[in-house]
Structure 1
Amino acid sequence: MRVAILAHEKFPERAKTALGVLRYADYDVAAVLDRDSAGSRVSDYVPDVQDAPIVGGTDDLEEDAVDALLIGIAPIGGDFDERWRPDVRTALEYGCDIISGLHYFLENDEEFAELAEENGCELRDIRKPPADLTVAEGIAGDVDAEVITTVGTDCSVGKMTATMELARDARAAGYDVGVVPTGQTGIMIEGWGIPIDRVVGDFTAGAVEEMIVELGDEHDYLLVEGQGSLVHPAYSAVTCGILHGSMPDKLVLCHDAGRETIHGYESFDLPSIPTYVDLYETLSAPVAETEVVAGTLNTADLEDDAAREAVDEYADVLGVPATDVIRHDTDEMLEAIL
């Protein structure tokens, strides 16, 4: 499928959904929409993902250039920015499907629903969970697969990236690994999953458990995509639900080099790394005995030598192997988690 990715004024730093799709998904990306960077290319900013031209809007594309418009931004709160409306409207008039991971469901937007019907388009609200979810039964630990869950010191520290990179490298090394996607970007990449941050609170652990049971006897290992952080003022409940629902055998702690405060809540300082290890292992213990066996560090803002030093320091603090999964190899990490 050929897609255009909407990332207005956010590419690449604040468009993690766009970057995830460009790096891991099977879509053929015809263009990225960012009015601030129009006229350049993806490779001008990010060299190690699928390349594409950056254009100012959907009306800069030929009418039959793409099959779908994918919203590649995940703003806090997941709301729809009205400045995107002309691009979505034009895409629907072109006959394109719309793929959205927002909390704002496009199918409930009267204008978009009418245009979709008129032009034979599909509005795919990725963040709409199944209607038949229920509470967990505490059976995720019974599956044949070994379960490894990525957890974080904050949101936007690279949990999805770590999950996808480790899965890709493990598969390339001959391991039988399945991925359990829990967020909109992971679902877009893998083509299935449940958006945990949209699930009724009582059913969060049950939704994760359902996915693990579905895949758990088909693979030797399952990598569960983490969300948020146990200390995040807004997202801690989702993190806890994933932790208890997945009943992990092992944990991978993801961190962003140099981050000292919580993203979007800068009045809250991040605890120490050992505090996180203790929090995750202790909270999991009544449900599943687990431990942090590896760590990933996002060093995108550092030069090469500083990045290597930061990774080494992070590994020393954790006392387990660590790496930047984009910058460095994952061999030592795979040995630790598989």
Structure 2
Amino acid sequence: MQVAVLAHESFPDRAKTAVGLLRYGDHEVRALVDREHAGKHVTDVLPGVQDAPIVASMDDVPEVDALLIGIAPIGGAFDESWRDDVRTALERGCDVLAGLHDFLEDDDEFVRLAEEHGGELHDLRKPPDDLTVAEGTAGEVDATVVTTVGTDCSTGKMTASFEIRDAARERGLDAAVVPTGQTGVAITGWGIVVDRVIADYAAGAVERLVETPEDKDVLIVEGQGALAHPAYSGVTTSILHGSAPDALVLCHNAGQEAIHGYESFTIPPLDEYVEIYERLAAPISDATVDAGMLNTSALDAADAVDAVATYREALGVPATDPVRDGVPDEVLDAIL
């Protein structure tokens, strides 16, 4: 499918859905819609991903099948400054995909335009209607289940999940990511966005996801939130218990000391954070933190090497920056 990705004034740092799709998606991205960087190319701003021209509006986009909203704002609200681009896409007969809490299908104008011009609205965050509470059966799957967890939101859990998948596949293993967020769902075309699920059903939703793929060697469950986060610890707990993992991978942003957006809350010391995750997992599984993934994008190459070494020492397990350095054998061995 040929797509345009909307990332107005948020690319790349606050457009993780756009970045994920550019780095791991199978769709051909024909344009990135971003007023701030219009006239450039994607790789001028973010090297190492699928390239595409950056344009100011949907009016400048070549023929595509769909427009995907690539911004993941806190709270998941639709920004009215995007309306003209969504309207234009629908008038051109394009589908529109969004992973927001504000559903496109609840917008009367978008519904009318989709019906008039033959496009479809896809609300990636909308959960299935038949979810139930967990039964505690995820631990019975034959695959090795790896769950990525973090010290905060936006620490690279989705990125780590896909990098582990790719490393496992390179080793000849049949590996798949289990998507639990809108970006993962946009990339893979399946999954459940767990932060939209009724709290009682959230662990059950993850359990269903883990039990869905058949005959896999490795399943990497995409983590969300963080256990010490004052707002989003609930979804983390649901994923941790619903996935019943065999191994945990702790993701962190180099140098970060406080919860983003909640700076009065400091991130616990890393060795304590490891213990927090392992103790909370313990009633459901005997998973331990077996590897670390560190986002060093804010550092130069030399400082990144030192930061990964320090992170490895703090955790007491192999660690890497998966974007800079991939997933070395020692890290994959530890995970598996």
Separation in 2, partners of 1:168, 1:8: 30
Q: Deviations over 1:187-239 (max 9, x none)?
A: 11111000000000000000000111112x41111110000000111110000
Separation in 1, partners of 2:115, 2:197: 28
Which of 190, 194, 210 is equivalent to 1:212? 210
Contact 2:30 2:61 (8 Å CA) reproduced: no
The letter for the 2-side match of 1:234 is A
Per-residue deviation at 1:45? 1.1
The letter for the 2-side match of 1:248 is P
| TM norm structure 1 | 0.98
Contact 2:3 2:29 (8 Å CA) reproduced: yes
* Residue of structure 2 in register with 1:103 after alignment: 101
The SS at the match of 2:19 is helix
Verify: 1:262 aligned to 2:298, yes or no: no
The letter for the 2-side match of 1:97 is D
* Residue of structure 2 in register with 1:232 after alignment: 229
Per-residue deviation at 1:329? 3.0
Verify: 1:148 aligned to 2:109, yes or no: no
The total of aligned residue pairs comes to 335
Separation in 1, partners of 2:258, 2:165: 29
Contact 2:150 2:223 (8 Å CA) reproduced: yes
Separation in 2, partners of 1:213, 1:30: 35
Alignment of 1:1-338 (within 5 A): 1-62=1-62, 65-215=63-213, 217-331=214-328, 332-338=330-336
Separation in 1, partners of 2:93, 2:151: 42
Separation in 1, partners of 2:103, 2:332: 38
Superposition RMSD in Å: 0.8
Identify which range, 23-32 or 171-180, moves more after superposition: 171-180
The SS at the match of 2:192 is coil
Q: Deviations over 1:82-125 (max 9, x none)?
A: 00000000010011100100011001100000000000110000
The SS at the match of 2:272 is helix
Q: For structure 2, list consecutive stretches of 5 or more residues without a partner in the other structure.
A: none
Per-residue deviation at 1:15? 0.8
Q: Deviations over 1:116-140 (max 9, x none)?
A: 0000110000000000000000000
Separation in 2, partners of 1:172, 1:288: 28
The SS at the match of 2:326 is coil
The SS at the match of 1:327 is helix
Per-residue deviation at 1:180? 0.6
Separation in 2, partners of 1:171, 1:248: 19
Per-residue deviation at 1:261? 1.0
Per-residue deviation at 1:177? 1.1
Separation in 1, partners of 2:95, 2:191: 20
Q: For structure 1, list consecutive stretches of 5 or more residues without a partner in the other structure.
A: none
Separation in 2, partners of 1:220, 1:11: 35
Per-residue deviation at 1:268? 1.2
Separation in 2, partners of 1:218, 1:173: 17
Q: Deviations over 1:298-331 (max 9, x none)?
A: 0000000000000000001111000000001312
The letter for the 1-side match of 2:304 is A
The letter for the 1-side match of 2:290 is V
Per-residue deviation at 1:61? 2.2
Separation in 2, partners of 1:181, 1:13: 21
Separation in 1, partners of 2:237, 2:13: 27
Q: Deviations over 1:3-39 (max 9, x none)?
A: 1100000011111110000000001001001101110
The letter for the 1-side match of 2:138 is A
